[in-house]
Structure 1
Amino acid sequence: MSGGISMADHRRKPADCTTMTEEPKRPEPPLTGDERTQLNGFLDFLRATVVWKCSGLTDEQARRALVPSELTTVAGLLGHLTLVEQYWFNVVLNGQEDLWKEALEADPDAEFRVAMQTPIEQLIAAYEAECERSRKVVAGMDLDDKVPFRGDREVNVRFVVAHMVEETGRHAGHLDLLREMIDGLTGE
């Protein structure tokens, strides 16, 4: 490409590499199955992708601001994904107290800021634990089950799981790009 910048110009230098080079075993979404099996399969695949994209980084790498929105870091996104797992499955579907409500009213980016002060391994462990809690909540519910939502509205389990597939997939894509910018790791 004459006179321009190629994508290779932005790739890592060998010294920036982490030790993680292999793609981990992730649960493949099922090719067949009922709606619940498909939704849960895709969500678990995306959750495992999130963990993969965050694993093997130093705390400094996970906190590195690489895009203009300085809180959009690996650590910040992982903190956000942990929060939305907790909110949608345990607050909305399971009726638990929203422990982040006051903090988010004071600062809409609170989960990103807290994550920036938390070691990446601790963030990964918290995310995995929250995903496991979410699985347990959904396991006892039917996709058509409805719960009250924000006043006089209702939401069903199907909406929550589909929304989390979208939310997790979107941020897994962000993490994919950030990880490549950090150390060159690529992969689906």
Structure 2
Amino acid sequence: MTTNRITDGTERAIIENMLDRNRAALIETVRGLSEADARRRLVASLTTPISLLKHAAGAERIWFQRFWAGLEASECDGYSERDEGTFTVTDDETLAGVIAEFERASLRSREIAARFDLDDTKHMPLEGTVSLRWTLLAMIEEFARHAGHGDILREQLDQAAPRA
């Protein structure tokens, strides 16, 4: 998905565009990787190219499905606990499938966010009272950070690949 950058418009349009651009940037870090490279662990943590997308899908569900929509974990369309399980990719999952999962979770997040105003607030035990604006900005921060992680992993993978 190509998302053109907007620099003028309503605050909401600019924030949502920035979030969508970071979602797209995260997906771009895995495009063209083999299944093996997508799962290759290059750092000590659970972070792999595919697990970054899996984690991002989990973050979408935690913040929008669980927190803003008020769904229970069993009502969400995938894993939505706040722990390292968001990085877990099973052997039967494919890179294309995890990309599609992240895109579905992102679409659902957009639909849920559309029900609220930027100034609407809810209370969350760990963060306190947060607005939708804060949530959208926190997701921008999260996905930008992980897209950077993905860029570094991709650079390592691309340098390790035999050159033609």
TM-score by length of 2: 0.85
Q: Which runs of 5+ in 1 are unaligned?
A: 1-24
Contact 1:82 1:126 in 2 (8 A): yes
1:12-91 matches, within 5 Å, as: 26-69=2-45, 71-91=46-66
Paired residue total: 154
Aligned residue number for residue 94 of structure 1: 69
Q: Larger Rg: 1 or 2? A: 1
Cα deviation code 1:125-176 (max 9, x no counterpart): 0000000000111112100111232289422101100100000100011011
1:110-149 matches, within 5 Å, as: 110-113=85-88, 115=89, 117=91, 118-149=93-124
Note the aligned Cα RMSD (angstroms): 2.0
Q: Which runs of 5+ in 2 are unaligned?
A: 160-164
Q: 1:74 to 1:151 in 2, by over 3 A?
A: closer
Runs of 4+ in 1 over 4 A off after TM superposition: none
**Structure 1 residue 66: Cα displacement:** 1.1
**Structure 1 residue 76: Cα displacement:** 1.3
**Structure 1 residue 64: Cα displacement:** 0.3
